[in-house]
Amino acid sequence: MMQSNILFPRQGKDFLFFILLFVSLVTLVVASLCVYVGIFVHLNTRIEDLEQPTYNTVSQLPVKFIIPWEALTPAKDQGSRSTCWSFVTSGFLESAYNSEAKKNHGHSLTSYVSFSEQVFGIKMIDTCSVPNPSPYCTNGQRSHNASDGLPEWLYYFKDVNNKWAVPENACPYKPTEDQWNICPELNKTLESNPVQFTVNNITTVYSISDVKNLLVNTKLPVTWTHGLYNKVFRTKCSRLSDQTKNADCVNKRIPCEGDYCYEIEISSFDNNGVFDITGKSYISGVHSMLIVGWNDDFRINRNAQHRKINEYSKGGFIVKNSWGFTGHSAGYWMSNHSTVQEDALCPNFGTYQNWIPIDYECFKQSMNATECANGFYRIVQLQRYNDGTILKCSEMAKNMEYATALGFDYCAREENKGKELRFALQSEKNVQVIYTSAPMVKIRYTNAEEGQAKFYLMVWEDGSNTVEEIITDPTTYQELEKLFVPVVSVENTKYCGYYFIPYDVFKFGNSRFLNYGDDTIAFSSFNITFDKTSFLDEKNGGYNYSALEKEVQINKFTPLDFKGPYIMNIPQ
């Protein structure tokens, strides 16, 4: 009790001193808290002023997701022009417009409106060709053409582009650069164009989780500008049939393992629609695409052409490309239907993974690709294809420079010009690849670590009764896709054109992108409001709706609704 009285005096001067000390300490603590809270609130207010998120963070993201059907439109083909940015811009506007039109303005779920990439190219050139143009013009727009732009221009030039969403049929896209400015009566078309919009805001994010949140919140695509990479393969010069045709070997540029090597660069993607970067790589350019979804469960076999390397990647983004209908359907990457049904939608005759090799000894005797296909076949759109795959030279294969670099110059040789040559991959006798539907192709690896090999082919002239064996220089399956095209082919449908970016490839590309220069990785979404008179149910007499009406009439894109795994009827 004595100790208690000493520590906590109840009377006299000591008690008064204690009370004053206690009050002072409480006041100091409260004041400190007020200052702390004030600083926190002030800083937080400044942060909020700087960045206003336009989406909510989803606590439990789904394993897979695709934007709604009303926001999906078919892929297109930019041709030989570097106008991917224009396709991404018009593609985003198409998604926003069609989604609004189908939800609130009575447009059919099976039709869609397509906008003109040609108009965006022409108008951006006009906008950036004036004295003292906007500083945004120089970020990508460096010459008098429509190449190398940015999807974010949709926001940066929002004060002038609000009438540029012109229906495609009013000003069709021209696939070659010398036709960049062709659009008859463009000014008249713009004046009477009913489709007008306002870009209210832009949201740009930089991580996988933020991209996913943006897709879920907006139900619209996310634009993506990124680097394109080439895989690099090194092979000993001694393995070439003629070293004098290769500059690396002639100049002895790359010493390797007691010899000299040469390098081959090939694209990081194949005709099957998968981007795959492994090993050494160089950046080769910049490309823009639309991210429309993801699938965390989809497995991709990495280095699919390297049977000695057992790698795989799980999960990635689904992207809408502008390279025509190569690749797969969005539903395939979502695992929404069977592979048999996908073969009906996107048969991909141009990818090596669907080429059936032929038994050489059998073919020498019968010259019959059906008899010598080892019993393998494909069923595409209710038709059975029994034959082994017969190939012919691509246009690239007839160019000696390209053909030599790709490891097979036979088609480009002077003595073979004008001939109707036919080729086939040889099959290994009595050997099949595990887990695939086709026999193993006869190859001999020259670089097992990287997957390069010499491929055993057979060659004959169309109509001839004799065939001979021919062996390539070291090459890869992806390079064969550039050298050959199938004689018999079924075109992919308009449901195709979607590619898959595994997450690890996505991360690798983003980490290397800044090596390219002043561009930057960017994942952007735009808040768009269309004027009511932009839609057919809100017509204004001052505008011409004929092109818009034609779009709805000619463009059909029916939602897929397969019943069971085997039905293969394709909506028309």
Tens digits of per-residue pLDDT, 131-152? 888 888 875 444 545 556 889 9
pLDDT of residue 310: 52
> Phi and psi for 399 in degrees, rounded to 5?
-95, 115
Report the pLDDT value the prediction gives residue 1, as an integer from 0 to 100: 37
- Which pLDDT band holds residue 572 (cuts at 50, 70, 90)? low
| Among 67-81, 100-114, 269-283, 377-391, the least confident range | 269-283
Mean of the pLDDT values across residues 270-278?
Answer: 83
Average the pLDDT over 558-564 and give the result. Answer: 90
Cα separations in angstroms, 410 against 344, 405, 407: 34, 12, 9
Least confident of 91-105, 192-206, 308-322, 519-533: 308-322
Q: What is the percentage of the chain residues whose pLDDT exceeds 70?
A: 81
- Cα(83)–Cα(289) distance, integer angstroms: 11
41 versus 248: the higher-pLDDT residue is: 248
CA dihedral angle for residue 155, residue 119, residue 117, residue 87, rounded to 10 degrees = -20
Average pLDDT over the chain, rounded to an integer: 84
State how far the Cα of 91 lies from the Cα of 112, in Å rounded to an integer: 12
Summarize pLDDT for 402-430 with one digit per residue, the tens: 898 888 999 999 999 999 999 999 998 75
pLDDT at res. 39: 34
Tell me which of 379 and 154 has the higher pLDDT: 154
The closest alpha carbon to 71, from 318, 297, 292, belongs to 292
Residue 26 has pLDDT above 50, yes or no: no
Residue 522 has pLDDT above 60, yes or no: yes
Distances (CA, A) of 190 to 168, 194, 262, 322: 12, 9, 53, 25
Mean pLDDT score, 556-570: 84
Give me the pLDDT at residue 84, please: 93
- pLDDT digits 0-9 by tens, 67-99: 999 999 999 999 999 899 999 999 999 999 999
Q: What is the mean pLDDT of the segment spanning 541-564?
A: 95
pLDDT at 74: 98
What distance in Å separates the CA atoms of residue 561 and residue 461, rounded to the nearest whole number? Answer: 45
